[in-house]
Amino acid sequence: MSMDVSVVIITRNAAATLSRTLDALTCYDDVVVYDNGSTDDTCSIVQAYSNTTLHHGEFLGFGPTKRAAVSLAKYDWIFSIDADEAPTKELNAAINDWVATATPQQAGKILRENWMLGKPVHHSGWGNDWLIRLFNRNTCNFNDAAVHESVSLAKNTEVSQLNGKIEHLAVNDLAQFLDKINRYSDLRASSKKLKHYPFALIFLKALYAFIRTYFFRLGILDGWRGLTISVANANGVFWKYAKNNVNNRL
């Protein structure tokens, strides 16, 4: 299989999952890895693959950093994937077939299956997770969001659902999960886009985040994983607003 598609990945200390990702991408001849200061074996893992190019740059927030990585790609068609994700063989075949006839005014939406500690999560806001990950950089690219970035589409872009899926190892251990909550709340608090609320209201917003995830989004059906995700979402909401207040001395 040979296709004019560049895969773009940003990394930082991703050694635990990166080999799995790169093993699933050997059918692509241009895999751009944009590293943001890894101190583990991430860079040496990348250099072991003949189809990868390793670049180094500052982390500017997820959206701007991914745009910087996109600019380094060989091809205009971009398949964006994270270092803890891997495409199935069915998805790689679907991308190959789709790009052969697609125009720059089209983009591909892909199902991401989110795993937590060895098992896929089907509820809790983690199920039915369709994301635009295949696009032409001449018409589409990532937005400026520091966290929860997405691809901004040109007007009248036609979006197609592709067969196959991305398997996402979202949580491999709880310490990593807690670290992610802390990092994301730091980024949101420093974005200067959050409103300021009194701490009593912040608590209520966090409580609602738990209720929404556990009951409205059926986290209760995911067992202890759903409970953990619900508590994590509540923590994320609380800390991003609390840090925002403290950063501004409110």
Per 3-state DSSP, the chain is made up of helix, strand and coil in percentages (nearest 5) of 40, 25, 35
Q: Which residues of 102-129 are buried (b: 16+ CB within 10 A; e: fewer)?
A: beeebbbebbbbbbbeeeebebbbbbeb
Domain 5-171 -> CATH class: alpha beta
40-52 mean pLDDT: 99
Judged against a pLDDT cut of 60, whether residue 163 lies above it is answered with yes
How far is residue 85 from each of residues 24, 68, 134, measured CA to CA in Å?
A: 9, 20, 14
CA 58/CA 55 separation, integer angstroms = 10
* Tens-place pLDDT, residues 106-145: 999 999 999 999 999 999 999 999 999 999 999 999 999 9
What's residue 250's pLDDT?
Answer: 56
How do beta strands 52-56 and 151-152 pair?
unpaired
Residue 68 has pLDDT above 70, yes or no: yes
Least confident of 4-8, 190-194, 204-208, 246-250: 246-250
Taking the C-alpha atoms of residue 35 and residue 129, their distance in angstroms, rounded to an integer, is 26
* Interatomic CA distance for residues 174 and 195, integer angstroms: 29
User: Stretch 54-69: mean pLDDT, rounded?
Assistant: 98
Q: What is the pLDDT of residue 1?
A: 62
What's the rounded Cα separation, in Å, for the pair 217 and 65? 31
pTM: predicted TM-score of the whole model, two decimal places: 0.94
Q: What is the pLDDT of residues 72-116, one digit of tens each?
A: 999 999 999 999 999 999 999 999 999 999 999 999 999 999 999
E-strand stretches of the chain: 5-11, 30-35, 52-56, 77-80, 85-87, 106-116, 119-120, 129-136, 141-142, 151-152, 158-171
Amino acid 2: pLDDT: 62
* pLDDT of 64 over the 70 cut: yes
Residue listed under structure tokens 């990394």: 11
**Mean pLDDT computed over every residue of the chain:** 97
The yes-or-no verdict on residue 165 having pLDDT over 80 is: yes
Q: What percent of the chain has pLDDT over 90?
A: 96
**Mean per-residue pLDDT for 217-230?**
98
Cβ pair 150, 130 in contact under 8 A: no
How far, in whole angstroms, is CA 169 from its chain's centroid?
Answer: 11
pLDDT of residue 249: 76
Residue ranges per structural domain of the chain: 5-171, 174-247
